[in-house]
Structures are given as structure tokens and as C-alpha cells.
């Protein structure tokens, strides 16, 4: 081991940035701590505007050659990256669990396989990306997707590598170069990804990883005139700062932001299914942007739904996420735990009742919580908590259910439980959301559009929508029989 290497569960992780195909250390560091038990993971290079500028310069220098690389070769390299992810899947899973506290079993079975799938999907989509030529008064229109240039990708801590590669993979497939800025609370798997990409043959400078605090390097990245795309997943206040920073250069943005999504349960629903969907909202200790944190239950079944929910939630095991028996792990950081508890205690002081939970556990664990007797205009109903805290309200009619569901500033997702397909069609047509699930939850396909409405985001990514964002879409119009033979 060197002074720039730390070991997590037997896995060596380089703590330096990855810029232009080389490891670059900063003079200052920041501390990375595991949410599982508060143990020190290591000291990480703390980027400044200097490292941010160097990463953009490296991406700019590497862009022409990567953009000119044939589609098939870019796809081959992305598949090689996926191979590397699969080869190191167990290492990635345990490192990320130690770094962000999510369940190890989920990382092994779902999250890290999805990381590899992100690369394979966009590599394959690239090879079939086309728009049928069409004619206008005898002229031929041909649509193409041109690489845009260096892309800044700023990613969150709740699913660090999966959400990073959801952006990295299409950006690279499109022929762009990337500057990845991982969340400072979870930097480790981004560093491992840099190693994997280099081993897979990705040319130097095509992928760069800069670590540090957004407040210190964010503006240097998002305001840089050589950056041609910015994609961010995180909070609304941070998104507003990024948008203001990018405005000077009119840099296109893709923003995936917060949610306060509803779960609508109608009296004709399969209540066992509805309860299963409801308990699933505690996944990842409630740190899921898509989570349906507001239960809206029809009055006639609300009491029975609540009884079954309490019984089902009582079977959950909270504890060490490395244990296969654990269902709920810790929350990410003491600051986030304070935020969660503040929401709950203010709600209780305002008259809410904690049916279950309503308090901290040991360490960075928060008890799974369900609050009732909450007003529609209350903070706990209107603002994203991002923890294992759910609310329950009742409604009498379908129209009231839709009104309550749409009555926040967010519009990321919605979940609907009903046994009536006609009702499902009526209600889903009226819900303001980027994704609606009917009698299911968290079924995701990478070819589907993903994003939010209102304050939940700007734009859509997934399938061709990703290439539309990460490329300059061009239409070439050719006149009929307009060629001259210059002999």
C-alpha cells in the first residue's frame, strides 16, 4: 500500500483524482467515514478549481479523437468496461456498502449488475441509433447525433456507482469525454471505476474523476466555457446554483432532482399487494428519490391498510447492511440524520402522530416511521425528507386522490394500487409525474424516458433520449439530383 491508497474490506482504493489518464493528488484532503459504524475509511484528495480546470482541459484534449472513434470501437470498449465491472463485482459491492451503508445483498444482486448493464445497454443502443430518412419536396432529410464535447456529471451518494454510470455510459457512448464529480460522502467506487475503465482500454482523458466538495469545485466545473453538457442528480437548491452557473455559457442541463411521490391506494386494490408496495418504500433506509413517501388511502380501507402495514413493517430487520438478514441499514451521514429527525420532531410538535417509529436508533440508524394526522400544507407532506419517514392521509373520492397526489411542487414519480383498469387509466392520465407505476414499483427499463416534472427535474434520459441530450442532433437536407460531375 502507498500513502495514496486505502484498504476497505481488503480492497485497495486509490484516494487521488484521475485526470488525463494519471493519478493526481491534492495538497488537501477530506475525510471519508462509513455510516455503518462511524469508522474512518480514509483521507481523500480534496479537489480545487485547479484540479477542476485540469480535468476539463484533459477532457477537451481527448475529445476529438474519441469523437472520431468508430461507433463499433466505442461500443467494444464500453463492453470491456462492463466486463471489468462484472469481474470486480464483489469488490465494488463491499466497498460501496462500507461507503454508503446500503445493503450488501442489494449491491451484489441488483445494483452492481445494473452498473455493468448500463454500459452494455448504451453500447448496444449506440449501434442501432438511427432515424429513418424522410423526404421534403423531393429533398432527403438525414438525422444524425454528433458528440457534443466535454460533459460534467455530478452524482449523488444514495446509489453512487449505479447513478454515476447511468450518466457516464451514454455520455461516453455518444462520443463525449467526461468529468465525473462523485458525492464527497461516497467517493470510493468512482475511483475504482477509473481503474476499470483504464484497464478496459478507454483512452486517457476520456474519463476523468475529480473528488471534493461541490462548494469548492462545483462552480469551476459548471461555469467552464469548454463544458458542453452538465448532468446533475441531487437537491433542488444545488440544481438552482448549477443552472445559474451554467447560464453564462448556455450549457445544456439535465437535472434529476427531489421527489415527494404519492402511493394511491383505492378501496378496490389488492390490499396485500398495496401493503407490500408501501413497505418497499423503506428501501435503502428511505434514501431513494423515487420513493412513494406519501400514502393516500381511500377512507373505507385506511384502517385495515394501516393495520396490515404496521404488521408487515414490524417484520423488517434494521442493522448492519453487510448482514444478509438486514432489511434497513443506516442513513448516510450525521448531518442527514439530524435533518430527518428535525422533520419528524417538527411534524409531531405540529400534531402528527407516529404510528411506528418517530425516533432515532443507535448510531446513524433512524427507526422506520409512519406519521398520520398530517395536514396537506404541512412541511412533512410538502418537503423531501430522504429518510425512512412516510406519511398517511385519507381521501374519499377519486378526484380528491388526484388533487392530493398532485398538490406538491414535485413530480418525479407516482404509484397506484387499484383493481380497476379503467380507474388506473383515468388516474394515471391526470398524475403529474415522470414515471407512474400501477400495481408495481421500481420496474425500470433503460430504454424508457426517465426524469421529473416541476421541481423534480429538467429533461429526460434513457434510450434515445440520452443521446438526444448528450449529442448535438443534426438534420442534413440534400437536394435531389443536385450533384455535378466535375470530371
**Residue 468 in this model has a pLDDT that exceeds 90:** yes
CA-based max dimension of the chain: 87
Mean pLDDT of 422-428: 97
Which pLDDT does position 23 carry in this prediction? 98
- Region of 9 please: left (phi>0), alpha (psi -120 to 50) or beta: left
Handedness of CA 385, 97, 255, 124 (dihedral sign): negative
C-alpha cell at 50: 485547479
In this predicted model, what pLDDT tens digit does every residue of 53-83 receive, in sequence order? 999 999 999 999 999 999 999 999 999 999 9
Under 8 Å between Cβ of 177 and 60: yes
**Residue 337 in this model has a pLDDT that exceeds 90:** yes
Out of 51, 96, 184, 256, the active site residue is 256
**Does 130 participate in catalysis according to the annotation?**
no
Number of Cβ within 10 Å of residue 227's Cβ equals 22
Which pLDDT does position 481 carry in this prediction? 79
Burial of 231 (0-12, 13-18, 19+ CB in 10 A): buried
How would residue 3 be classed by pLDDT, with cut points 50, 70 and 90? confident
Alpha carbon of residue 1 to chain centroid:
32
Assign 450 to helix, strand or coil: strand
Entry pTM:
0.96
**Going by C-beta distance under 8 Å and a sequence separation of 6 or more, which residues neighbour residue 9?**
94, 95, 98
Q: Out of 1.20.1630.10, 3.40.309.10, 3.20.20.80, 3.40.50.2020, which CATH number does the structure's domain 262-438 have?
A: 3.40.309.10
* Beta pairing partners, 450: 461
DSSP string, 408-454: SS--SEEEEE-S-HHHHHHHHHH---SEEEES------TTS-B--SG
Separation between Cα atoms, residue 202 and residue 213, nearest integer Å? 26
In this predicted model, what pLDDT tens digit does every residue of 119-158 receive, in sequence order? 999 999 999 999 999 999 999 999 999 999 999 999 999 9
Separation between Cα atoms, residue 217 and residue 219, nearest integer Å? 6
**Residue 1 in this model has a pLDDT that exceeds 60:** no
In this predicted model, what pLDDT tens digit does every residue of 75-119 receive, in sequence order? 999 999 999 999 999 999 999 999 999 999 999 999 999 999 999
**Going by C-beta distance under 8 Å and a sequence separation of 6 or more, which residues neighbour residue 101?**
34, 35, 36, 285, 321, 329, 330, 331, 332, 364
Which pLDDT does position 377 carry in this prediction? 97
Out of 96, 289, 384, 471, the active site residue is 289
Separation between Cα atoms, residue 327 and residue 316, nearest integer Å? 6
Average pLDDT, the chain: 96
3-state SS record for 59-86:
HHHHHHHHHHCCHHHHHHHHHHHHHHHH
* Beta pairing partners, 136: 139
**Does 256 participate in catalysis according to the annotation?**
yes
Under 8 Å between Cβ of 232 and 253: yes
In this predicted model, what pLDDT tens digit does every residue of 186-240 receive, in sequence order? 999 999 999 999 999 999 999 999 999 999 999 999 999 999 999 999 999 999 9
> Cα torsion for 67, 141, 170, 19, to the nearest 10°?
20
Of the ranges 29-33, 168-172, 413-417, 480-484, which one carries the lowest mean pLDDT score?
480-484
**Residue 467 in this model has a pLDDT that exceeds 70:** yes
| Percent of the chain's residues with pLDDT above 90 | 98
Which pLDDT does position 485 carry in this prediction? 63
Separation between Cα atoms, residue 104 and residue 440, nearest integer Å? 24
Domain ranges in the chain are 5-257+452-475, 262-438
**Residue 486 in this model has a pLDDT that exceeds 90:** no
- Orientation of helix 89-100 relative to helix 71-87, angle to 10°: 70
Separation between Cα atoms, residue 479 and residue 135, nearest integer Å? 10
**Residue 487 in this model has a pLDDT that exceeds 80:** no
Under 8 Å between Cβ of 280 and 441: yes
Mean pLDDT of 263-287: 97
Reference 415, options 283, 296, 285; nearest CA is 296
The class level of CATH for 5-257+452-475 reads alpha beta
Amino acid at each position: 500500500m502507498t500513502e495514496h491508497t486505502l484498504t476497505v474490506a481488503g480492497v485497495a482504493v486509490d484516494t487521488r483524482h484521475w485526470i488525463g489518464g494519471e493519478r493526481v493528488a491534492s495538497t488537501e484532503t477530506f475525510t471519508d467515514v462509513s455510516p455503518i459504524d462511524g469508522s474512518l475509511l480514509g483521507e481523500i484528495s480534496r479537489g480545487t478549481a485547479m484540479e477542476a480546470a485540469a480535468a476539463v482541459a484533459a477532457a477537451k484534449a481527448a475529445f476529438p479523437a474519441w469523437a472520431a472513434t468508430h461507433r463499433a470501437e466505442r461500443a467494444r470498449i464500453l463492453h470491456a468496461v462492463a466486463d471489468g465491472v462484472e469481474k470486480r463485482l464483489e469488490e465494488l459491492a463491499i466497498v460501496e456498502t462500507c461507503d454508503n451503508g446500503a445493503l450488501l445483498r442489494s449491491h451484489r444482486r441488483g445494483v452492481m449488475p445494473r452498473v455493468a448493464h448500463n454500459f452494455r445497454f448504451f453500447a448496444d443502443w449506440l449501434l442501432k441509433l438511427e432515424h429513418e430518412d424522410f423526404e421534403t419536396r423531393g429533398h432527403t432529410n438525414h438525422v444524425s447525433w454528433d458528440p457534443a464535447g466535454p460533459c460534467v456529471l455530478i452524482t449523488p451518494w444514495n446509489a453512487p456507482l449505479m447513478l454515476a454510470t447511468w450518466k457516464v455510459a451514454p455520455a461516453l457512448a455518444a462520443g463525449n469525454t467526461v468529468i465525473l464529480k462523485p458525492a464527497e460522502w461516497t467517493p470510493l467506487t468512482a475511483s475504482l471505476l477509473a481503474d476499470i475503465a483504464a484497464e478496459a482500454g478507454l483512452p486517457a482523458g476520456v474519463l476523468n474523476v475529480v473528488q471534493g466538495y461541490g462548494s469548492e469545485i462545483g462552480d469551476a466545473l459548471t461555469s467552464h466555457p469548454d463544458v458542453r453538457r452538465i448532468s446533475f442528480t441531487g437537491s433542488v437548491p444545488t440544481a438552482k446554483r448549477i443552472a445559474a452557473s451554467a447560464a453564462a455559457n448556455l450549457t445544456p442541463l439535465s437535472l434529476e432532482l427531489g421527489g415527494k411521490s404519492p402511493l394511491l391506494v383505492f378501496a378496490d386494490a389488492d390490499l396485500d399487494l398495496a401493503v407490500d408496495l408501501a413497505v418497499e418504500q423503506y428501501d435503502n433506509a428511505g434514501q431513494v428519490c423515487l420513493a412513494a413517501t406519501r400514502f393516500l388511502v381511500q377512507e373505507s380501507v385506511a384502517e385495515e391498510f394501516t393495520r396490515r402495514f404496521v404488521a408487515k413493517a414490524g417484520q423488517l430487520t434494521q442493522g448492519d447492511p453487510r448482514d444478509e438478514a438486514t432489511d434497513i441499514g443506516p442513513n448516510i451521514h450525521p448531518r442527514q440524520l439530524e435533518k430527518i429527525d428535525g422533520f419528524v420532531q417538527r411534524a409531531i410538535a405540529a400534531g402528527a402522530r407516529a404510528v411506528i417509529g418517530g425516533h432515532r436508533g443507535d448510531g446513524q440508524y433512524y427507526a422506520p416511521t409512519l406519521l398520520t394526522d398530517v395536514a396537506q400544507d404541512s412541511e412533512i407532506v410538502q418537503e423531501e425528507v430522504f429518510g425512512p419517514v412516510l406519511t398517511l392521509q385519507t381521501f374519499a373520492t377519486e378526484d380528491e386522490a388526484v388533487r392530493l397526489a398532485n398538490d406538491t411542487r414535485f413530480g418525479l414519480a407516482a404509484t397506484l394500487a387499484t383493481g380497476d383498469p379503467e380507474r388506473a387509466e383515468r388516474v394515471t392520465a391526470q398524475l403529474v409525474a415522470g414515471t407512474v407505476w400501477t400495481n408495481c414499483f421500481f420496474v425500470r427499463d433503460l430504454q424508457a424516458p426517465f426524469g421529473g416534472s416541476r421541481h423534480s427535474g429538467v429533461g429526460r434520459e434513457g434510450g434515445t433520449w440520452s443521446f438526444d441530450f448528450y449529442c448535438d442532433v443534426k438534420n442534413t437536407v440534400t437536394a435531389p439530383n443536385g450533384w455535378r460531375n466535375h470530371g
